[in-house]
Amino acid sequence: MSEPGPLVLVVEDEPRMRRFLRASLRVHGYRLIEAERAAEALHLAASHNPEMVLLDLGLPDGDGIEVIRRLRSWMRAPVVVISARGREDDKVAALDAGADDYLTKPFGVRELMARLRVALRHARAAASRASDPSIFESGPLRVDLGRREVSVAGAEVHLTPLEYRILAYMAQHAGMVVTHGQILREVWGPSYAAEPHLVRVHVAELRRKLEDEPARPRHLITEPGVGYRLRDPSSPTSGCP
């Protein structure tokens, strides 16, 4: 007997979209529970401990951004936003709140399934890294968080304190989008949240030191208008240089 598929909490108030998601998930082996409202979603998440959440932002009794924040206060399962809101500001807000990915409606089944696979793969890779969280390796790039050492192809790379803190934060969230705001709050502090140019300048310098071709980076990938992603060695490169 095959193992049961991952349990997904679907939070969507529109009946037609919910039917589409139900049929798509089941045919690909996923199990699911469904909620139409924010309060119901939080209750089901606590009582069923799903392995993933698919979340619409526009809910009758509250905004999905607040649902993400509340889920993230205790749950580590990936949260993939599915929303008709396609503006960069909405994507940044959802990712800043703790979402792992953002899918704009309308979308097809193949794209949905690909996003789910990537989100689950990242979650499992993060869980496996928990056994040795001090080492990140991707091809020739090695970040030893315990020793605070960075090397490329065995050669030590000297970083400034700010460059190291940016890279260490991204290594701890490898494979996930980290926004300009998240990096600024983590590295510079909350008073710098409105100065994304600081991140761009330091990431450009990191690329100069870490990448074979800084203009075509393989490790520090840009997510346009949102932030950056440190390539997870277990999944293909996404985003843009």
pLDDT digits (tens, 9 = 90+) for 98-125: 898 999 998 999 999 999 998 888 777 6
Structure confidence at residue 236 (pLDDT): 44
Exposure string of 149-176, with b = 16+ CB inside 10 Å and e = fewer, is ebebeeeebebeebbbbbbbbbbbbbbb
166 shares a domain with 122: no
Are residues 23 and 57 located together in one domain of the fold? yes
Show which of 128, 151, 167 is a domain's final residue: 128
Q: Does 197 share its domain with 141?
A: yes
Return the amino acid letter for 236.
P
Contact residues for 196 (Cβ-Cβ < 8 A; gap 6+): 180, 181, 184
Identity of the highest mean pLDDT range in 1-5, 16-20, 125-129: 16-20
Asked if residue 237 has pLDDT above 50, the reply is no
Q: What is the mean pLDDT of the chain?
A: 87
Kindly give, in sequence order, each residue whose CB lies less than 8 Å from that of residue 131, ignoring residues fewer than 6 positions away.
none
Residue 220 has, within 13 A of its CA and on its CB side, a CA count of: 24
Residue 15 forms part of a structural domain:
yes
The answer to whether 74 and 50 have CB atoms below 8 angstroms apart is no
Query: How confident is residue 126, by pLDDT bands cut at 50, 70 and 90?
Result: low
Band of pLDDT at residue 1, cut at 50, 70 and 90: very low
**Model pLDDT, residue 134:** 79
Mean pLDDT of the 146-160 span: 91
| 124 shares its domain with 201 | no
Q: Is residue 57 part of a domain?
A: yes
Query: 2 lies in a domain?
Result: no
Q: What is the pLDDT of residue 2?
A: 57
CA dihedral 112, 34, 74, 116 (to 10 degrees): -10
Asked if residue 143 and residue 119 are part of one domain, the reply reads no
The range of the structural domain enclosing residue 111 comes to 7-128
pLDDT of residue 176: 82
Residue ending a domain, among 66, 94, 128, is 128
| Within a domain: 1 | no
| Number of domains observed in the structure of the chain | 2
End-to-end CA distance of the chain: 44
Please give the pLDDT value at position 226.
87
pLDDT at residue 129 above 70? Answer: no
Sequence length of the chain is 241
DSSP string covering 99-138, please?
-SEEEESS--HHHHHHHHHHHHHHHHHHHHHTTSTTEEEE
**pLDDT tens for each residue of 40-51:** 999 999 999 899
Considering the domain boundaries, does residue 237 fall inside one? no
Q: Does the structure show a pLDDT above 80 at 26?
A: yes
Query: What CATH number should be reported for the domain holding residue 151?
Result: 1.10.10.10
- DSSP 8-state assignment for residue 6: P
- What's the pTM value of the predicted model, to 2 decimals? 0.66
Instruction: Give tens-digit pLDDT for 161-186.
Output: 999 999 999 988 888 888 998 899 88
Same domain (yes/no): 124, 139? no
Same domain, 137 and 85: no
Same domain for 14 and 66, yes or no, is: yes
- Same domain, residue pair 107 and 173: no
Closest-CA residue to 11 (of 56, 48, 42, 44) = 56
Nearest to 69 by CA among 51, 83, 55: 55
Q: Are residues 208 and 117 in the same domain?
A: no
Domain boundary among 97, 128, 159: 128
pLDDT of residue 192 exceeding 80, the answer is no
Whether residue 106 is preceded by a cis peptide bond, meaning omega within 30 degrees of 0, is: yes
Question: Is 67 in contact with 94 (CB distance < 8 Å)?
Answer: no
